[in-house]
Structure 1
Amino acid sequence: MELYFLGTGAGIPSKQRNVSAAALRFFNDQGSTWLFDCGEATQHQILYTPLKLSKIDKIFITHLHGDHIYGLPGVLGSRSFQGTETPLTLFGPKGLKDFVQTSLSVSGTFLRYRLEVVEVEDGAVFKERNTVIKVKKLVHGIPSFGYRIEEENQAGSLQVDKLKALGVPPGPLYGQLKEGKQIQLEDGRFINGKDFLGPCKKGRKIAVLGDTRYTEAAIELAKDVDVLVHEATFGAHEQELAHQYYHSTSVQAAKVAKMAEASSLILTHISSRYGENADRLLNEAKEQFVNTYLAKDLWSYSIQP
């Protein structure tokens, strides 16, 4: 998996940062890509990455503020104009369906692919292929959600050398053993596939949160994740301002990562007031949680198995 940050600013675009959007690309699934939020000019940012609109098959909207959804009609329309016919599912808060339908209808935009809009609620759980998506409501001025993506554990590698030492020839039997099944060999012996599998490969876990004040719900979503993507609109000394505008500080984001025992934290949704001085937020967070990164537009982060 790889996370691409297409927009890492807050509220309005700046010369350094576009508004919110991030993409999660799956390398073991023909490049399938999930988009998280879709601020203005997201499709333009995609042009500077290896991502393709045709490969986006899921879009998760955290909340309906303009800096998170105003790029959506353009992405949906361009995906169709390019000839893509594969289905796309859109997840987000109540009201998202009306926004999409109105935008497409008023602009006379026809989609050549099937579009499904799923309006999420607190506690919702979805299963997509070998991945589970969990939804929790956060604390913002309007309904805002966080998404937890859990990859299922995978069976360990088949220990071929051991099988060859027992005289088990390569072929269809290896497939059955890989599935953990018991088989009988031609000489009458029974062997159990589970005895020839290496350690289980632990599924990856990612939490991508929408705009929010510090909240226990964020800690729950981020529990034991490999990567937590959390907003850091304000600096440590502007906690009251962050609370007033329903946002978080760099230190609060780090506190969530620490309490959740996350492996790494990525700060995003950075206010334009910091301009070239955004590293201040990174340094503040690192004092609380060392493994912290500051996202920048067009920066990517690899999530290894």
Structure 2
Amino acid sequence: MRPSFYPRLVNGPFDDPGLFISFLFENRAILFDLGDIYSLSARDILKISHVFVSHTHMDHFGGFDRLLRLFLGREKKIHLYGPEDFLKNVEGKLAGYSWNLVENFTNHLVLRATEIHPTGLMTQEYLLHNKFQPVREAVRHPFDKILLKEPALSVSTVILDHRIPCLGFSMKERFHVNIIKENLADLGLDIGPWLKVFKQALFNSQDPDSVFEVRIGKKNILKKKFLLGELTDRIAIITPGQKITYITDVVYNPSNAAKITEFAKDSDQLFIEGTFLEKDRDIARQKYHLTAWQAGVIAARANVKQFTLFHFSPRHTGLEHILRKEAEQAASETRYQ
């Protein structure tokens, strides 16, 4: 069964953190963290619709300029999310350039940035044609942990401690629609763009007794009609959706550990930093990072199906296999306690 989302780390484990998640059959992706993104192709970057920034240390936010550079002159709205002071930092980035020739651009580029606080959200829009000056006072919204909610998925956040507020992110698919290819053939149907329309009807909770039309080709030719519920029974298996969680730059303390464990609970994939070896636990505490052992403990307590370590300290160059082995051992011992 093919997943709907394909997450991959942007860089190697010793380089800037970042998780690129592409959408199956869609020209779309989202990004967790915005460090160095030169390893991503321009084609992939242009797919990005939403960027979720854990915090604005340079290795998590330095790729902002690359992102903006590629989107200039394109018809696009980019949604950005970050922790306390995020709007100020976005505005600082934008203020670093001269925008006196923006009238030469015919397309409209909009940056919609949201700053997350424990008590609420603050959203501001920056328009290229307005030289990226704020269009109005920031709009305030209540904070319910959900940053993005669509029919098929949601992205939530948790505020963690890195000596400054640092955000963890989790993307959850509502449910997964698995298409039975053999049954398509029995109905005289082929795989095609109409399946995206079919899945969208399910995510929109369309009436099962409503008529669903299968249309094909650029001319949108009607091929067959079905009752949506009957077609679903014939060609689809509905299973729980994927959950992908991303955690980086956090100190191991009781509050963080409890928050992360609950937040990442039952994730299909957990991407979690394991910056130091356990023998360097004191250094990890001073620098507000996790050890590989601590990451493994959290992964086991959260009952994740799979976890991937990243964001290794340069002091452990050449020792990545030891970091991963330590995390796996910690997870194994924790599961059997």
Alignment TM-score, normalising by the size of structure 2: 0.69
1:246 Cα deviation from its structure 2 partner: 1.1
**2:24 maps to 1:27:** yes
How far apart are residue 198 of structure 1 and its match? 4.8
Compute the displacement of 1:46 (Å): 1.3
Among 117, 124, 127, the residue aligned to 2:145: 124
- Aligned residue number for residue 243 of structure 2: 205
How do 1:204-223 residues align onto structure 2 when only pairs under 5 Å count? 204-214=242-252, 215-223=257-265
Question: In the superposition, relative to structure 1, how do residues 270 and 4 fare at CA in structure 2: closer, same or farther (>3 Å)?
Answer: same
Whichever structure has more strand as a proportion of its residues is 2
Deviations 1:111-159, CA, capped at 9 Å, x for gaps: 9411100112345213145211111111211110101110111456589
Partner of 2:125: none
Q: What are the equivalent positions in structure 2 for 1:266-281 lying under 5 Å apart?
A: 266-281=308-323
Q: Compute the displacement of 1:195 (Å).
A: 5.8
How many angstroms apart in 1 are the aligned matches of 2:236 and 2:326? 41
| Structure 1: 5+ residue stretches without partners | 10-16, 185-189, 291-305
1:146 aligns with 2:168: yes
1:159 & 1:78 partners in 2: Cα distance? 38
One-letter amino acid matched to 1:285: A
> In 2, distance between residues paired with 1:151 and 1:249?
30
- Number of corresponding residues: 266
Partner of 2:60: 68
What amino acid does structure 2 have at the position aligned with 1:60? F
Cα distance in structure 1, aligned partners of 2:243 and 2:325: 25
Question: Per the alignment, do residues 256 and 22 of structure 1 end up closer, same or farther by CA in structure 2, a change over 3 Å counting?
Answer: same
Tell me by how many angstroms 1:35 deviates.
1.3
Higher relative contact order structure (alpha carbons within 8 Å, sequence separation ≥ 6)? 1
Consecutive unaligned residues in structure 2, runs of 5 or more? 119-143, 190-197, 212-226, 333-337
Asked if the contact 1:73/1:100 (under 8 Å) is kept, the reply is no
Matches of 2:183 and 2:45, distance apart in 1 = 43
Tell me how far 1:79 sits from its aligned partner. Answer: 2.2
In structure 2, the partner of 1:182 is: 209
SS in 2 for 1:3: strand
Picking from 115, 133, 158, the partner of 2:155 is 133
Contact 1:57 1:88 in 2 (8 A): yes
TM-score relative to the length of structure 1: 0.76
Q: Is the 8 A contact 1:21 1:38 kept in 2?
A: yes
Residue aligning to 1:108 = 98
RMSD of equivalent CA atoms = 3.3
Measure how far apart 1:20 and its partner are: 2.0
How big is the shift at 1:213?
1.8
Q: Secondary structure of 2:297's partner?
A: helix
